[in-house]
């Protein structure tokens, strides 16, 4: 038994080091699976109501409705985080743990070119030039690419779903580009975008006065309300 107890910390060390990623990835997969199954049941119900053939699970996964529902949500999430990355580089909120300090230089603002010889510095920092320019903006680049890809998926899936309804009602179909100009596309987008920025607004302001002990997203519980940053 004593051997087992001594070995256990080593066995769990990888999971402990990556616990935040693992927890979020598992919850994402569970919720995504729930979305697929619930959405499939909804499509079955709608098909029965309209006297149509019930789709297979694969048919639902490749449908415009599923693509539109999935990508319009991903699009808003990537927009939220990409925008937040940019806004927190030059905007401040006094007293918020989500803001850089108003009075002190932030480590994030340090010029990486002065650390090219530091031990353990990432390769782009040591390389300099274009590699460093891309690397020092790589987080924004990532979210921009993911947002753009999600918009494309939303447009393709949304246009397919939109055209199905158009055909059912004897109206003309639209291209993906034309779908971008419809109220339907912007309603689908804005209903998600507004909620994402609402959450960020609540988080930024809430962390001025409220705390969560142990969380990296909160100031220390005893910190003054006016203290800015974490």
182-198 residue pLDDT tens: 999 999 999 999 999 99
What pLDDT score does 208 carry?
A: 94
Signed CA dihedral, 204, 196, 91, 186: sign only: negative
Percent of the chain residues past pLDDT 90, beyond the cut: 81
pLDDT band at residue 50 using 50, 70 and 90 as cut-offs? confident
What pLDDT score does 8 carry?
A: 56
Percent of the chain residues past pLDDT 70, beyond the cut: 94
What pLDDT score does 9 carry?
A: 53
What pLDDT score does 38 carry?
A: 97
Q: What is the mean pLDDT of the chain?
A: 91
Residue 4 has pLDDT above 80, yes or no: no
**Cα-based distances in Å from 4 to 8, 11, 19, 52:** 6, 10, 22, 59
What pLDDT score does 229 carry?
A: 84
d(CA 222, CA 229) in angstroms, rounded, equals: 14
What pLDDT score does 105 carry?
A: 87
pLDDT band at residue 103 using 50, 70 and 90 as cut-offs? confident
- The whole-model pTM stands at 0.88
SS (H, E, C) the chain: CHHHHHHHHHHHHHHHHCHHHHHHHHHHHHHHHHHHHHHHHHHHHHHHHCCCCCCCHHHHHCCHHHHHHHHHHHHHHHHHHHHHHHHHHHCCCCCCCCCCCCCCCCHHHCCHHHHCCCCCCCHHHHHCHHHHHHHCCHHHHHHHHHHHHHHHHHHHHHHHHHHHHHHHCCCCCCCHHHHCCCHHHHHHHHHHHHHHHHHHHHHHHHHHHCCCCCCCCCCCCCCCCCCCCC
Average pLDDT value for residue range 137-164: 96
pLDDT band at residue 168 using 50, 70 and 90 as cut-offs? confident
Burial class (CB in 10 A: 0-12, 13-18, 19+), 155: buried
65-95 residue pLDDT tens: 999 999 999 999 999 999 999 999 999 999 9
d(CA 129, CA 135) in angstroms, rounded, equals: 10
d(CA 87, CA 81) in angstroms, rounded, equals: 10
Q: Give the position of tokens 């019930």.
A: 54
108-126 residue pLDDT tens: 999 999 999 999 999 999 9
- From the list 93, 196, 91, the residue with the least C-alpha distance to 147 is 196
């Amino acid at each position: 038994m004593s051997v087992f107890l001594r070995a256990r910390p080593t066995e769990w060390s990888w999971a402990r080091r990556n616990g935040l990623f693992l927890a979020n990835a598992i919850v994402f997969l569970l919720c995504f699976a729930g979305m697929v199954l619930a959405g499939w049941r909804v499509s079955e119900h709608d098909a029965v109501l309209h006297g149509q053939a019930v789709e297979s699970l694969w048919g639902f996964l490749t449908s415009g409705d599923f693509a539109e529902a999935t990508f319009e949500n991903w699009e808003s999430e990537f927009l939220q985080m990409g925008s937040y990355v940019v806004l927190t580089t030059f905007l401040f909120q006094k007293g918020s743990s989500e803001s850089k300090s108003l009075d002190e230089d932030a480590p994030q603002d340090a010029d990486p070119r002065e650390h090219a010889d530091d031990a353990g510095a990432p390769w782009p920092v040591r390389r300099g030039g274009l590699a460093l320019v891309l690397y020092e903006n790589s987080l924004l680049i990532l979210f921009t690419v993911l947002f753009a890809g999600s918009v494309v998926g939303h447009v393709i899936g949304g246009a397919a779903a939109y055209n199905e309804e158009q055909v059912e009602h004897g109206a003309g179909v639209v291209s993906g580009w034309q779908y971008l100009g419809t109220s339907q596309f912007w309603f689908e987008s804005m209903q998600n975008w507004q909620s994402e920025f609402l959450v960020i607004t609540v988080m930024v302001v809430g962390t001025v006065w409220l705390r969560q002990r142990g969380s990296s997203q909160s100031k220390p519980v005893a910190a003054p309300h006016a203290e800015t940053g974490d």
